[in-house]
Amino acid sequence: MQKLTNKEEEIMHILWKLDKAFVKDVLAEIKEDQPHYNTLSTIIRNLEEKGYVAHNAYGNTHQYYPIVAKEDYRKEFMTNAIENYFNNSYKNMVSFFAEEEKISAKELREILELIEKKE
């Protein structure tokens, strides 16, 4: 799976939400820093070249849809982040969030309960 730029990832989130969309539909979902129509069309075609998106043609118009599931992308993204930023250690990742106060003791207990139920 090729790495996505921030803008490509933003567009993928929109396509996952809409399931199928024309460029104008995607453009309507972008609230800030709205790109020009042609720029957005190029981004979506790049996503298609990278294997994330396919399309149905209706004359000169294309309706795009994701062919990579959001869950599959999330797994790949998280695996790479853990490998690259946390030395392939989930413990280091959780410690990071605890130190940054992004996760509470209550949430950690809930995670422990989930782990213990699986054992």
Q: Note the pLDDT of residue 6.
A: 92
Dihedral (CA of 44, 49, 54, 57) sign: positive
Q: Does the pLDDT at position 3 exceed 90?
A: no
Distances (CA, A) of 84 to 49, 65, 75, 76, 80: 25, 30, 14, 12, 6
Q: Note the pLDDT of residue 119.
A: 74
- Judged by DSSP in three states, 37 sits in helix
Please give the model's pTM, rounded to 2 decimal places. 0.82
Q: Compare 101 and 58 and report the one with higher pLDDT.
A: 58
The DSSP code sequence of 57-117 is: EETTEEEEEESS-HHHHHHHHHHHHHHHHSTT-HHHHHHHHHHTT-S-HHHHHHHHHHHHH
Q: Note the pLDDT of residue 58.
A: 95
Q: Does the pLDDT at position 2 exceed 90?
A: no
CB 94 within 8 A of CB 108: yes
Mean pLDDT across the stretch 22-51?
96
Element containing residue 34 per DSSP (H, E)? none
Confidence bin at 101 (pLDDT 50/70/90)? confident
